[in-house]
Amino acid sequence: MAAHRNYLAAAVVCAAALVGVTGCSSDDDKRPFDGMSADDIAEKASKATSGAKSLKIDIKSTENGQKSEVSYEVAGTGVCRGTMDMADVGKVELIAVDKASYTRGGDAYRERVLGSPEAAKKTKGKWLKAPEEQAARTCDLDAMFKASDLKGAERGDDSEANGKKTATLVKDGAAGEKVTYHIATEGEPYFVKIDSKGGSGPTTLTLSDFGKKFQVTAPPADQIEDPKDVIKGS
């Protein structure tokens, strides 16, 4: 953010051009977001992304040598579907709709959630309903893309990500990582990529398919188990 053209200096150059001293570029030659502070750019990108009607998020990460992948489609705040492939529990499916969220995974995942092999066996093939307070946070775009999370970021060099020209904001993370936010400079100023390097391992978050329609429906009622009921009955 600090590396942006100074409007005052540009105005001086243009004034000189009027008397034939030098050339002056048009507004079209200016870098997008020129004259905006890092906080202003973050606010604009956060508002655009959290306000998107729909989008797709793909995450690849490595933490202490363990790789994980997450891919999900968000059809609106609190409405999404996706899959998570985590080193410690394997593949997990996710659905969030109608202010509720559900997950379905293998034995290791169910044992992690339910706390015992016996409870895990009882729920084989079932969707586990998340607690209400957890469901409210699932696929919450407002929580995912808060401008306050970018406090302290600086303007980086312009770049490209996912085939789009981008402005970048760079911030040092609390765990020693460096995070680079790529923001589209054409069309809506969406976040299109977020890269984190250093710390316990690299993470790349890619955003795409803005505005695409995704159909999300709840699992059939006879395939849903409430962990509270399962644990009580164990």
Residues in a beta bridge with 164: 161
pLDDT tens, residue by residue, 4-30 = 323 223 333 322 232 333 333 344 445
Six-digit token string for 6: 């100074």
pLDDT tens, residue by residue, 62-77 = 988 889 999 999 998 8
Give the position of tokens 């977020």.
Answer: 194
State the pLDDT at residue 10: 33
State the pLDDT at residue 22: 34
pLDDT higher than 80, residue 135: no
Mean pLDDT to the nearest integer, 161-188:
93
The rounded distance, in Å, linking the Cα atoms of 159 and 165 is 6
The rounded distance, in Å, linking the Cα atoms of 56 and 123 is 29
Could you give the percent of the chain with pLDDT greater than 70? 85
State the pLDDT at residue 197: 92
Residue type, 173: G
Question: Which residue, 169, 148, 195, 184, is CA-closest to 49?
Answer: 184
Six-digit token string for 58: 């793909």
pLDDT higher than 80, residue 131: yes
Which whole-number Å values give the CA distances from 136 to 33, 50, 69, 103, in the listed order? 34, 15, 23, 14
Mean pLDDT, the chain, rounded, equals 84
State the pLDDT at residue 126: 96
State the pLDDT at residue 30: 57
Band of pLDDT at residue 233, cut at 50, 70 and 90: low
The rounded distance, in Å, linking the Cα atoms of 103 and 206 is 22
